[in-house]
Structure 1
Amino acid sequence: MSALSRHNVRQAGQGQPLLFAHGYGCDQSVWRFMAPAFETTHRVVLMDLAGCGTAAPDAYDQERHATLHGHAQDIISVCESAQLEGTVLVAHSVSTMSAVLAARTRPDLFSALVMLAPSPSYLNHEGYQGGFERQDIDDLLHILEANHFKWARMMAPVVMGSENNPALSEELATHFCRMEASVAKHFAQVTFLSDHREDLDGLSIPTLVMQCTRDTLAPASVGQYLQSRWPQVQLAKLEATGHCPHMSAPQEATEVLRAFLEAQAHELVESTA
């Protein structure tokens, strides 16, 4: 099976590729409020991560995906199969670090990274506030192991963080519930226990970070860390609250992304003039 079939890849439009990679437990449908706005100017490419949505049931392998390197390789495989060049990789949440790993492995494939609500580590470390102590994560994983559906209903409102739109929290919970239980647990362990702070070193690709207000999973301290550790990062602080601006505030996220793409195109024209 090709990578395009394995990850249920859908494409629309022409021009520079924009590859959208969703966050934990979701699927490509979460980009429906944002991605179509770029179909007149870009080649929009959507994929489902292994273990999520309508990706092939056997796409998720607990050995291959024991780290985010497995998902990074999946992204690379999609780029190769779709023959994408100069791709802007737009990633949300856990996929932002998969994007970093993909760009480090194959810098020739990507021209820029766009990260929505990224975090290189959800755990607190000395000199770094990721937002969670190890016991916090262990407790969350224990609930997930005991009752996948209870965990989904509990976590979705926390992740969405949009009190004025309970329908979005319900949609997110439904996505979580659709995951096969063993995949949900394993992917959550990989997500919450990974630490990719060192993978930021030496990465010079133009990068936009969109950081939300009152994001429980990626607090303001994470954005400050990224900007101090990664000087070429452009940090855009959104008015949107929660962890999913592409769903809760798609117009704001779209405008910020469009401005970034236009600036990148302008710099390319100037550099080749």
Structure 2
Amino acid sequence: MMFAHGYGCDQGMWRYVAPQFSEEFRILTFDHVGSGGSDSNAFDPAKYATLKGYAEDVIEIAREASVQGGIFVGHSVSAMIGVLAAIDAPELFDELVLVCPSPYFLNDGDYLGGFTQGDIDELLASMSNNYAAWSNTMAPAIIGNADRPELGQELASAFCRMDPAIAGTFARATFTSDNRPDLPKVSARTLVLQCRDDILAGEHIGAYVASQVPDASLVILDATGHCPNLSAPHAVNEAIKAFVGSP
């Protein structure tokens, strides 16, 4: 069972979830290049200009660990990274769990990704101008749960540990990728987990992902914000257990 963290996070974000499955599954957690304890010297701006570079890493790690027919759990941008990995190497994962996924952040006709091009341009410019200030402003809004400020502080600290140049490249790949055409190509059985009041991926986005993946189900968690693995791990654990335990 392989867990992949979201933008600006690290594998510690799974500390309330991954251990709950360690008796039944072999657990793999890791840090994307440039995040957490990874080797930032391995960062290649050309490779990681798109999410495909991160998907290649997932495939490499899974193969090194001799994964076959495993379960991939991806949060936020790693949901789409997992989709790409599962398409390119379908033998690795029989099941996908996509936590608060978004295949495209831009509004496009009837598709409401939640942001205009101007919004994305402003976000990337703000990151470039003062990454620390951006992190401290955006992290609490992303994680929600204003009554638990320690969660926003943890996410902001994780953001701030990233090299700003790497963070900017990863953000551009995250917020400009359009993975909508990839969703129908997924052959793995899929669970989409969605929260309420998620400013990055509204409930309609989760429903869209579930409708486009051929064998997918949608669960709306009793949780708010974009990081239920931190804010509502019990709900995440119960939903995943029900999914992997069902035929």
TM-score of the superposed pair, with normalisation by structure 1: 0.89
- From 95, 100, 111, the equivalent of 1:128 is 111
Write out per-residue CA displacement over residues 166-205 of structure 1, whole angstroms, 9 at most, x where no aligned residue.
1010000000001001001111111011110001123221
**Helix, strand or coil at the partner of 1:224:** helix
Higher relative contact order (CA 8 A, sep 6+): 2
Please give the alpha-carbon distance, in whole angstroms, between the structure 2 residues aligned to 1:22 and 1:56: 16
Distance in 2 separating the partners of 1:203 and 1:43 = 23
Counterpart of 1:253?
A: 236
Aligned to 1:38: 21
Report deviation, 1:61: 1.1
Q: What is the RMSD of the two structures over their aligned residues, measured on CA atoms?
A: 0.9
Residue 205 in 1 paired to residue 188 in 2?
yes
* Paired amino acid for 1:134: Q
Q: Which stretches in structure 2 are left out of the alignment for 5+ residues?
A: none
The answer to whether residue 88 in structure 2 is matched with residue 105 in structure 1 is yes
Moved over 2 A (4+): 227-231
Report the residue type matching 2:141 in the other structure. Answer: V
How far the C-alpha of 1:82 sits from its partner, in A, is 1.0
Residues 130 and 221 in structure 1, CA contact (< 8 A), matched pair in contact too: no
Aligned AA (1:201): P
How far residue 129 of structure 1 moved from its aligned partner, in angstroms, is 0.7
Match of 1:25 in 2: 8
Gaps of 5+ in 1: 1-17, 268-273
Letter in 1 for 2:230: M
Return the alpha-carbon distance in structure 1 between the equivalents of residues 111 and 42 of structure 2.
Answer: 34
Q: Deviation digits for residues 77-110 of structure 1, max 9, x if unmatched?
A: 0011111121100000001111010000000111
Alpha-carbon distance in 1 for matches of 2:139, 2:173: 18
Separation in structure 2 between the aligned mates of residue 144 and residue 202 of structure 1, nearest angstrom: 33
Contact 2:87 2:187 in 1 (8 A): no
* AA of the residue aligned to 2:173: V
The secondary structure found in structure 2 opposite 1:124 is coil
Matched with 1:227 is: 210
Matching residue of 1:238: 221
For each residue in 1:26-54, what CA deviation from the matched residue of structure 2 results, as whole angstroms up to 9, or x when unmatched? 11001001111111111111110111001
Give the distance between the partners of 1:103 and 1:230, measured in 2 at CA. Answer: 12
Aligned residues of 1:128 and 1:225 also touching (Cα < 8 A):
no
Alignment of 1:49-198 (within 5 A): 49-198=32-181
Which residue number corresponds to residue 14 of structure 1?
Answer: none
Aligned residues: 247
TM-score (norm 2): 0.98
Q: Is the 8 A contact 2:192 2:216 kept in 1?
A: yes
C-alpha displacement of 1:163 = 1.2
Query: Which one-letter code corresponds to 1:77 in the other structure?
Result: E
What's the CA shift for 1:59?
2.3
* Structure 1 residue 231 displacement after superposition: 4.1
For 1:77 and 1:227, locate their aligned partners in 2 and report how far apart those are by CA, in whole Å: 27
